[in-house]
Each structure stands twice: as structure tokens, then as C-alpha cells.
Amino acid sequence: MPGAPGTEVRLGRLKHASLTTLKAISHVADPPGAAALIEAIRQLPGDSDALAIWRGRVDAHALRLRFNDPALHAELRPAGAAAPLFDALEQCRVEALGVRLFPGARVNLRAFHGACPVDVERRAKLDDAMIGLAPLIFDQRAFGTEAARLAAAIARGERNDTEEPEEPSDRPDGAVETQQRNFTEVQAERAQVDILRRISNEPRGRVVPRRTPRQAGEPGYRAFTQQFDAVVDASSLIDDAMRRDLLRQFDDISTTSRRHVSRWAHRLQRYLLSRQRRAWTFDCEEGLLDSGRLARVVCDPSLPLLFKQETDTDWPETAVTLLIDNSGSMRGAPIVIASVCAEQLGAVLERCGVTTEILGFTTQRWRGGRSRERWIAERRPPNPGRLTDLNHIIYKSADVPWRHARRNLIAMLDESLLKENVDGEALLWAYQRLRRRPERRKILMVISDGAPLDGATLSANDFGYLDRHLRSVIEALEADSAFELLAIGIGHDVGSYYANAFTVTEPQELGEAMVRQLVARLKDGGNSRQRTVRGSSL
């Protein structure tokens, strides 16, 4: 305590340590507000809990200095009652960034916030708001723009976009209210798609760190509940009227792409047929009559070797699964090109005797769905795991002929289908289906445009949660010698995840990349574990 022997010495050491921490974390030589903060040390009680709270206070201040642009914050800050809510959301943003860069700060911040008086209702609203804002934390302007809108809505007492839907009204105007809610959901979905697209255009390390090791004591991956997950046939996703509309759209926007992909599909077909070409053994005593030897009969009828026999080349039966990311950021050209490539290459593979399965993965709703609703109903237990309802889609099953399944691919163009993506579990699902196939060669090709992203899960767990799980799944699958895994990234270097990977900068390059990858795998017989190099020839 101040005035006791040795206290001034301890206070001096604590001031020095606090100032050093401020400078180190904030990267500012003379941190603004440091003098007033350091002077408050004299009011500290002399117990260990108070010291932990103080460390959290210092960390919170330092992270604000490091990740917040004060001028931009002032520009975006709303007036009135929304202002403190906006400030709180921005503090949540900088601290979320901070604990990813400085994992040790998490404990200090938890102690600091645990000692602060809090309005439980307000805290819940801020938590809900952060679920939708989580993907924007790396962009202060985008985050602040959306945070200002949400803060104003909360201040006015309105329901924000991240809260759970209310029960339908029994009043006569309930239909009108439902229509208004639907409009709000559509607006929120469009905003979420914009977020996903913005993230997909960010450099690799801006979204998910290259390595996000699991910290000691952190729980392993799990789903909070699997009750609401679904595996659906694409034919059930759209009715006949929608199928006709989507087919017209597909034909209109894919004409140029189809011509380009067809060229590469024909190359793949020529290669596969050349590998499967049968050989003949001549001068046999039995088999098919060899017309080329008929002249011998005229010259010497006693010659017996007038037959030929067909022999098969050593071409192993092969099964290929195409697993396509159906997340919101794939909307537009990426999903159109992916569906065209699946259509063209799937037909070629089947004609050449290669069993083909085409799968997709997304979520049923934005920001969690019924899984998150159950978590909230159970009072938000910590470390809940995956909090979204998965939607795994079968566009073409391996046992279904192509002519019966190709029209299902246009369901990918239904924009209401494309939401968020949990890649690790989708990869396991596709792998388990492929493992059950009797073919000797098994190849799984993943087509994606980014890292796994589900706002509800990432807001309730640490930000590397889905990333770590995907990496562990890939590591396990690549260790299976009876199985070949390769990936194509659209605009993202998926080579940071997969050993065999190819990245295209434009969706139009996807057809060429898919053919190159398949040919590379079929050429080496599945023995290569080296990453596919861009520019390899057929």
C-alpha cells in the first residue's frame, strides 16, 4: 500500500513494467494517455486480483492504440445514446484482434472486464451484434459503418439483425410484420455476402493466420449439436418452375464459359482414352479373325495363326469426387464457372469410365441457425464448438448416371442456397463417402475461394477454431495412402492448407486448372505428394 516500506519501489517497478507493456503492444514510443493511466496505479489495492485487473486495463488501452485509428473512429461515431455502444463495439474489435496476436492478453482482459459493472441486457445485445460483425474486424471502416448502424438500432430499442427471429404474430397484421422481417433478413443476407466477398479478396494472412496452433487447455473441435445438420439431394432444393428459370439464366451466362471449358474437357477425354486404349496380340491360334492375315490363307492354307486377341491395359478403376464450396462469397462468376466445369468434366469422366460424384457444402442459415438458438437457450455455455446448421448437398451421386443428375447442378445458381462454410466437416463427409467406393483409385478434388468462415462459431470460440480443424482433417486425409486429395483455390492460395494445390486468380481459369490437376494425378499413379506447379503441361 502507498506509504508502507518498499511500496514506492514496487510502484516504480509496476509503472515501468506497465509503460513498457504499453509501448511494446501499441508500437507507439510515447503512448497517448499513458501518464494518466500510470498515475492511477496509486489507487490500486495491494492484492493479486487487483494486479490482474490492472494488467487487463493496460492491455485494453494498448490494443486500442495499436488497432484503432482515432480520426476514423471520430468520423464514424454516431451521436447521442448510440455513441457509447459504438465505442464498446470498437473496443471489442481491437481486443479481438489483440488476443489473436497476443494470446496471453486474453486472461488479463477477462479479469479486467469481469471486474467492471455491466448491464447484462446490453452485454447480450453487444455479443449478438459482434456475431455479425466478426468477419469485419480487420477492416475498421467496414466494421465501424456496420457497428454505427447496429448501435443506433440498439439505442432506439429495435431488434438488430443478429437477434433470433420472433414468433409469428397472431394479429391480423401478422402477415405484414412477417413480410417486413423477411425484407430485413434479405437486407442482412446481402450485407453478409458483401462481407464474405470483401474477405475473399483479402490477402491470405489477413483473414486467418497461416498457423493457428491450439493453445494448452483449449478444447478440441466439436459440434454443439448435430441435430439440425442435413444431407440433401439437390433435386429437392428447387421446384420445376425455379429449375426452368435457373436453366435459362445458366444458358445465358455460361455460353462463353462453356466453350472455354469444353476445350479443356476434350483434352482430358483424349488423355483418358489414350491411357485406356486396348492392345492386340496377333498370330494367335484362337480369338477374333485377323483380316490382315487373310492373304496368308491364299498363299498357304496350312498356317494356323490367323487370329488376334484383345488385351486390356493396366488402367485402374478410378472414382473422382468434386467437392465445391457453396458459400456466399462464391456468388456470381465463381459459382457459375464451378457449375459449368462440373457439368463438362463430370460428363467426360463418366464417358471414360471414371466414376464421378459431385458434392457441395454450405450452411442452412446465416449466423448459426437453430444450433445457435439452442446454445442461447442454454445460457451460452463457454467453448460451445460449431454453432451452425450444416447443409451438405449431393448434386450427383456416384451411382447415378450423368443424364439423370446433370440438371441438378443448376441448383448452385440459387443465391438463397449460398451462405457460410465449414470446410473441415465437409471434407470429412466427402472423404467418408469416397472411402466406401469399391474403385482402386480414389481422388477428391476440392474447389474453394477462401478459408472456413462461420460467424456464429467464430464469435463464440477463438478465431482459429475452424482453421485448426480444417488443417487437422487435411493432415489426416493426406496421410491415407489409399486416397488422393487435391485442391483448387479461386483467388486464394489454398496451398497454405493442401500439399497438392493449384491457385487460379480468375474464375475463368478453373476449367484449365481442374484438367491439369486431374491429369497430373492420373499420370503419376497417385504416388506424388508434391504440390502441383502452376503451368504444368498436359
Q: Are residues 373 and 262 in the same domain?
A: yes
Compute the half-sphere exposure of residue 344: CA atoms within 13 Å on the CB side of its CA: 26
Q: Are residues 159 and 243 in the same domain?
A: no
- Among 180-194, 201-215, 447-461, which stretch is predicted with the lowest mean pLDDT? 201-215
What are the cell numbers at 326?
Answer: 457453396
pLDDT given for residue 33 in this prediction? 84
What is the rounded distance in angstroms from the CA atom of residue 391 to the CA atom of residue 410?
17
pLDDT, mean of residues 76-89: 89
Q: Which residues, in sequence order, are bridge partners of residue 392? A: 231, 361
* Residue 185 resides in a domain: no
pLDDT given for residue 81 in this prediction? 86
* Residue 330 resides in a domain: yes
Q: Are residues 151 and 88 in the same domain?
A: yes
What is the rounded distance in angstroms from the CA atom of residue 35 to the CA atom of residue 507?
54
Place of cell 478410378: 318
pLDDT band at 378 (very low <50, low <70, confident <90, very high): very high
> Is the pTM here over 0.75, yes or no?
no
Considering 95-99, 417-421, 505-509, 517-521, the range whose residues carry the highest mean pLDDT is 417-421
pLDDT given for residue 458 in this prediction? 84
* 8-state DSSP, 115: T
pLDDT band at 206 (very low <50, low <70, confident <90, very high): very low
Which whole-number Å values give the CA distances from 489 to 448, 502, 538, in the listed order?
Answer: 5, 6, 20
* Residue 88 resides in a domain: yes
Measured from the Cβ of residue 289, the count of other Cβ atoms closer than 10 Å reads 10
Q: DSSP states of 327-384 as a string?
A: BGGGTTHHHHHHHHHHHHHHHHHHHTT-EEEEEEEEESSGGGTHHHHHHHHTT--SS-
Domain, as residue range, for 139:
7-163
Considering its fold, how many domains does the chain have in total?
3
- On the question of pLDDT at 44 being above 80, the answer is no
pLDDT given for residue 516 in this prediction? 79
pLDDT given for residue 178 in this prediction? 43
Q: Are residues 129 and 258 in the same domain?
A: no
* 8-state DSSP, 386: B
Pick from 163, 178, 207: which residue ends a domain?
163
Q: Are residues 74 and 131 in the same domain?
A: yes
* Residue 220 resides in a domain: no
- On the question of pLDDT at 469 being above 50, the answer is yes
* Residue 498 resides in a domain: yes
Considering 117-121, 270-274, 404-408, the range whose residues carry the highest mean pLDDT is 404-408
Cβ–Cβ under 8 Å, residues 225 and 389: no
Q: Are residues 153 and 123 in the same domain?
A: yes
Cβ–Cβ under 8 Å, residues 513 and 484: no
- CATH of residue 356's domain is 3.40.50.410
Compute the half-sphere exposure of residue 78: CA atoms within 13 Å on the CB side of its CA: 23
pLDDT, mean of residues 495-515: 81
What is the rounded distance in angstroms from the CA atom of residue 272 to the CA atom of residue 278?
12
Q: Are residues 290 and 352 in the same domain?
A: no
Q: Are residues 30 and 137 in the same domain?
A: yes
pLDDT given for residue 109 in this prediction? 86
Pick from 163, 179, 194: which residue ends a domain?
163
pLDDT, mean of residues 446-455: 85
Pick from 133, 163, 193: which residue ends a domain?
163
What is the rounded distance in angstroms from the CA atom of residue 197 to the CA atom of residue 492?
12
* Residue 65 resides in a domain: yes
**Amino acid, res. 24:** A
Q: Are residues 424 and 515 in the same domain?
A: yes
What are the cell numbers at 261?
Answer: 471449358
pLDDT band at 176 (very low <50, low <70, confident <90, very high): very low
pLDDT given for residue 47 in this prediction? 63
- Residues 270-322 have pLDDT tens digits of 766 656 555 667 677 777 767 666 666 667 666 666 677 766 555 668 899 99
What is the rounded distance in angstroms from the CA atom of residue 429 to the CA atom of residue 103?
32
What are the cell numbers at 524?
Answer: 503419376
- On the question of pLDDT at 172 being above 70, the answer is no
Measured from the Cβ of residue 31, the count of other Cβ atoms closer than 10 Å reads 21
- Residues 54-72 have pLDDT tens digits of 888 888 998 999 889 898 8
- On the question of pLDDT at 151 being above 60, the answer is yes
What is the rounded distance in angstroms from the CA atom of residue 264 to the CA atom of residue 254?
15
Q: Are residues 13 and 56 in the same domain?
A: yes
Measured from the Cβ of residue 305, the count of other Cβ atoms closer than 10 Å reads 13
Q: Are residues 496 and 409 in the same domain?
A: yes
pLDDT band at 257 (very low <50, low <70, confident <90, very high): low
pLDDT, mean of residues 183-191: 47
Q: DSSP states of 64-106 as a string?
A: HHHH--HHHHHHHPPPTTHHHHHHHHHHHHHHHHHHHH-TTHH
pLDDT, mean of residues 105-129: 76
Q: Which residues, in sequence order, are bridge partners of residue 320? A: 356, 443
* Residue 304 resides in a domain: yes
What is the rounded distance in angstroms from the CA atom of residue 387 to the CA atom of residue 384?
7
Rounded to the nearest 10°, the torsion over CA 147, 149, 154, 156 is 150
pLDDT, mean of residues 380-408: 91
| Residue scoring higher pLDDT (490 or 119) | 490
- Cα 476 → chain centroid: 18
Cβ–Cβ under 8 Å, residues 393 and 426: no
Count of residues making up the chain: 538
> First CA to last CA across the chain, in angstroms?
77
Cβ–Cβ under 8 Å, residues 473 and 223: no
> What percent of the chain shows pLDDT beyond 70?
72
Q: Are residues 90 and 105 in the same domain?
A: yes
Q: Encode burial over 247-271: b for 16+ CB neighbours within 10 A, e otherwise.
A: eeebeebbeebbebbbebbebbbeb
What are the cell numbers at 534?
Answer: 502452376
Q: Which residues neighbour 503 within 8 Å (Cβ) at sequence distance 6 or greater?
A: 488, 489, 491, 492, 493, 494, 495, 534
pLDDT band at 45 (very low <50, low <70, confident <90, very high): low
* Residue 36 resides in a domain: yes
What are the cell numbers at 441?
Answer: 483409385
pLDDT, mean of residues 220-246: 90
Strand extents, DSSP E, 187-292: 230-233, 279-284, 288-289
